Amino acid sequence: MLPPFSAARTMPTTCVVGILWGDEGKGKVIDYLAADTDYVVRFGGGHNAGHTLVLPPSVAGDGKLVLHLVPSGIVHQHTVNVIGNGVVVDPIHLCEEVAMLRQRGIDVDLGRNLLVSERAHVILEAHRRQDEWAERVRGTGRIGTTGRGIGPAYSDRCARVGLRVGDLCRPDALRAALSALAEQKNALFGSAGLDPLDCDRMFEELCAAGAELKPGIVDTGGALRKARREGKRILLEGAQGCLLDLEHGTYPFVTSSHASTGGAYSGTGMPPHEMLTIGIVKAYATRVGEGPFPTELHDDTGDALRKAGNEYGSTTGRPRRCGWFDAVAVRYSGAVSGVDELVLTCFDVMRGFPLRLATSYKLPDGSVTTDLPAFGLGSVEPQIEELPGFDDDISDVRDFDGLPQNARDYVAAIERHTGLRVGTVSVGPGRDQVIRRDPN
Ligand code: IMP
């Protein structure tokens, strides 16, 4: 039925990761691959993510669906969708997202096609408020977070004071854990001049959410290990992108989870095993929030790219910063995540633009590098290669040889400078707007 993702068909586990700073179009690729998958698993992040699917109107009303926490396989009735232990879950948001999906006519059956790890940590109102406060305190050094409480929730997990999803169904333990946490948070909020937490209200809200989610709250790690033993096909859905990875990204301008493939093991409870890793990257580059972005365009071309690509955050609505494709950063992320092949998305957006890509960075001391530095990324000067652009509308092209020569040359330049094969090109948001290349 689908054009073959040849390697995906021979390897039972496939991991899809964003290559730069998120928003690469992972939702569409997951949706595409989920048609042929048994399990779709989120392994990190929370409702800071926004995965957009453009579906046939018969599937979900007006066709466009934005998912924040529920895995993108949910529109395929045969898949089991798993929110893994590495995810931080806002239970109230999750209940709202489930309600939204049901309202759109999508069958969400907790315990059958949606499972939530009992070990996943909970995002509380306290975390959202702490996130907002921390950003205010950082002032000009702010990270530009999504304000969803992600960092504080992961911090509490590391500090071993967090609540886990399984606690939502254990009222005594929940009340005790909530009181202990509120004591700490209220000390902080008090010194910051903020209102204390209303523990009783939070308890009631969390119990209600827990009761609703209960049929789906299980040991997802055990379920996934069993599924693997039975030879089921598992698709791991990365959130954000490798350059937002807490350890390998552009620290401190990162998220607080492990967005590269490393997080796929710890965030699911599956032991390391061979898997196919598909890296998703746009034909240009975008970033939301603060932090270094070597190929960023601060001019009319950047504005034109934003307009052409409708580059506004699907979670916060913020305008995305836009720039040229960065082969240095893509090569680095590809290596960190062990990417087997790239999916190049939003290629149709490049119509009428020059095709430019950074091939190396000039450092302040005058030397040139093809490595991504851990420090001083904001001071590098990208060395840009320019290729002639294309003016044709490529959104209806379905065969790689049907692309204009200049477009094919750009893909070849990307492959040359990143060392990664572009196995698929996406030429529009729709499910069918995909060009799958034959393996070499
Ligand atoms: P946080 O994840 O809300 O803590 O935000 C940390 C950084 O990651 C900020 O720059 C956010 O804009 C960015 N970020 C978080 N989630 C996403 C995403 O799904 N797409 C793009 N950027 C994201």
Taking only the tens place, the pLDDT of each residue in 161-197 is 999 999 999 999 999 999 999 999 999 999 999 999 9
CA distances (Å), origin 346, targets 48, 350, 430, 439:
22, 8, 11, 21
- Higher pLDDT pick, 57 / 37: 37
Cα–ligand 1 centroid distance for 289 (angstroms)? 7
156 lines ligand 1 (CB under 6 A): no
196-215, pLDDT tens digit by residue? Answer: 999 999 999 999 999 999 99
CB-CB neighbours of 308 under 10 Å:
17
User: For position 5, what pLDDT does the model report?
Assistant: 52
Residue 9 in this model has a pLDDT that exceeds 60: no
User: For position 440, what pLDDT does the model report?
Assistant: 63
What pairing do the DSSP bridges indicate for beta strands 355-362 and 325-326?
parallel
Atom 15 of ligand 1, residue of closest alpha carbon: 48
149 lines ligand 1 (CB under 6 A): no
Residue type, 176: A
Cα–ligand 1 centroid distance for 255 (angstroms)? 6
Region 250-279: mean pLDDT is 96
Contact 263, 257 (CB under 8 A): yes
Q: Identify which of 244, 245, 320, 321 to mutate to test ligand 1's pocket (most ligand atoms within 8 A of the CB).
A: 244
Q: In terms of Cα–Cα distance, which of 19, 15, 24 is closest to 235? A: 15
Region 64-80: mean pLDDT is 94
Work out the angle at residue 285's Cα, subtended by the Cα atoms of residues 280 and 291, and round it to the nearest 5 degrees.
110
Region 248-269: mean pLDDT is 97
228-242, pLDDT tens digit by residue? Answer: 999 999 999 999 999
- DSSP character at residue 162: -
22 lines ligand 1 (CB under 6 A): yes
The encoded tokens of residue 234 equal 């598992």
Residue 2 in this model has a pLDDT that exceeds 50: no
> Cα(354)–Cα(324) distance, rounded to whole angstroms?
10
Q: Identify which of 23, 288, 293, 320 to mutate to test ligand 1's pocket (most ligand atoms within 8 A of the CB).
A: 288
Region 148-154: mean pLDDT is 97
The C-alpha R_g of the chain, in whole angstroms, comes to 22
| Residue 191: burial class (beta carbons within 10 Å; 0-12, 13-18, 19+) | exposed
Mean pLDDT of the chain: 94
For residue 383, the cross-strand partners are 360
- Grouping H, G, I as helix, E, B as strand and the rest as coil, residue 393 is coil
Cα–ligand 1 centroid distance for 165 (angstroms)? 22
User: For position 314, what pLDDT does the model report?
Assistant: 80
Least confident of 26-35, 119-128, 256-265, 273-282: 26-35
414-438, pLDDT tens digit by residue? Answer: 999 999 999 999 999 988 899 999 7
User: For position 4, what pLDDT does the model report?
Assistant: 43
Percent of the chain with pLDDT over 70: 96
CA distances (Å), origin 309, targets 121, 187, 392:
35, 45, 16
> Cα(21)–Cα(45) distance, rounded to whole angstroms?
13
Q: How confident is the model at residue 14 (pLDDT cuts 50, 70, 90)?
A: very high
Atom 20 of ligand 1, residue of closest alpha carbon: 22
User: For position 228, what pLDDT does the model report?
Assistant: 95
> Cα(223)–Cα(220) distance, rounded to whole angstroms?
5
User: For position 177, what pLDDT does the model report?
Assistant: 93
User: For position 259, what pLDDT does the model report?
Assistant: 97
Residue 393 in this model has a pLDDT that exceeds 90: yes
What H or E segment, with its residue span, contains residue 329?
helix 327-337
114-139, pLDDT tens digit by residue? Answer: 999 999 999 999 999 999 999 999 99
User: For position 56, what pLDDT does the model report?
Assistant: 77
The encoded tokens of residue 253 equal 């301008």
CA distances (Å), origin 15, targets 42, 83, 168, 298, 418:
10, 15, 30, 34, 19
User: For position 145, what pLDDT does the model report?
Assistant: 95
65 lines ligand 1 (CB under 6 A): no
User: For position 316, what pLDDT does the model report?
Assistant: 82
- Model confidence, pTM: 0.94
Output the DSSP codes for 57-121: TTTSTTSEEEESSS-GGGGSTT-EEEE-TTBEE-HHHHHHHHHHHHHTT----BTTTEEEETTSE
Question: Which of 47, 51, 76, 248 does the annotation list as catalytic?
Answer: 51
User: Phi and psi of 207, rounded to 5°?
Assistant: -65, -40
User: Phi and psi of 305, rounded to 5°?
Assistant: -65, -45
> Cα(306)–Cα(319) distance, rounded to whole angstroms?
8
Among this protein's residues, is 172 annotated catalytic? no
Q: In terms of Cα–Cα distance, which of 331, 328, 354 is closest to 410? A: 354
Cα–ligand 1 centroid distance for 283 (angstroms)? 20
146 lines ligand 1 (CB under 6 A): yes
Residue 6 in this model has a pLDDT that exceeds 80: no
Cα–ligand 1 centroid distance for 321 (angstroms)? 13
The encoded tokens of residue 169 equal 């169904």
Region 132-154: mean pLDDT is 95
246 lines ligand 1 (CB under 6 A): no
Region 389-403: mean pLDDT is 96
Q: In terms of Cα–Cα distance, which of 375, 81, 358, 385 is closest to 235? A: 81
Residue 23 in this model has a pLDDT that exceeds 80: yes
> Cα(112)–Cα(115) distance, rounded to whole angstroms?
7
Q: How confident is the model at residue 1 (pLDDT cuts 50, 70, 90)?
A: very low
User: For position 60, what pLDDT does the model report?
Assistant: 62
Among this protein's residues, is 51 annotated catalytic? yes
Atom of ligand 1 nearest to the CA of 45: 2
